[in-house]
Amino acid sequence: MAISKKMEQAINDQINAEFYSAYLYLAMACQADDMQLKGLASWFNVQYQEEVAHAMGFVNYLQERGGRVVLQAIEQPRVEWPDAVAMFEQTCEHEAYVTSRINDLAALAVEEKDFAATQFLNWYVKEQVEEEATAADILGELRLAKDAPGAMLFLLRELGTRTFVAPVIG
């Protein structure tokens, strides 16, 4: 059974949202690099790569289901933040937004009785729990370390050790 037009459009919209997420995190990586916060820049570069992988997961899924991928213009993200805490405050807000989008897709899959989509989206539902928890944990640590340069340096170095591992989606 081919994917419904309604689900196809919703997934195309999500592809755009995932690429926007990648742009947002790339902008944060560039800002962190400009601020000479190399560990933070590295963490956001990995996040950028993850978001591209998430977008491609949706692209591949839509193509496997016989849908048509229609790429849309990607909105320009914000490009400047006052500090690392502000970057992670926005990261937390953004990940909550992405979670709401994924939940809406999952609800649509149930409404459409699209069990293949439901199964596929389960990976993203689980991933968003992890994304929100990680961002909140880092934000909390940044807030604690904000007035302690040694602690901040340690945290930034720790963030810089993150490496990209291509996710197995589905």
At 94-123, the pLDDT tens digits run 999 999 999 999 999 999 999 999 999 999
Q: For residues 73 and 17, is the Cβ–Cβ distance under 8 A?
A: no
**CA 139 – CA 87 distance, rounded (Å):** 9
pLDDT of residue 9: 98
Q: Kindly report the pTM of this predicted structure.
A: 0.96
- Short-list 43, 18, 33, CA closest to 155: 43
pLDDT of residue 95: 98
Average pLDDT over residues 154-164: 96
Q: Tens digit of pLDDT for each residue in 26-68? A: 999 999 999 999 999 999 999 999 999 999 999 999 999 999 9
CATH of 5-159, one of 3.40.50.300, 1.10.150.120, 1.10.260.40, 1.20.1260.10: 1.20.1260.10
Q: Show me where the domains of the chain are located.
A: 5-159
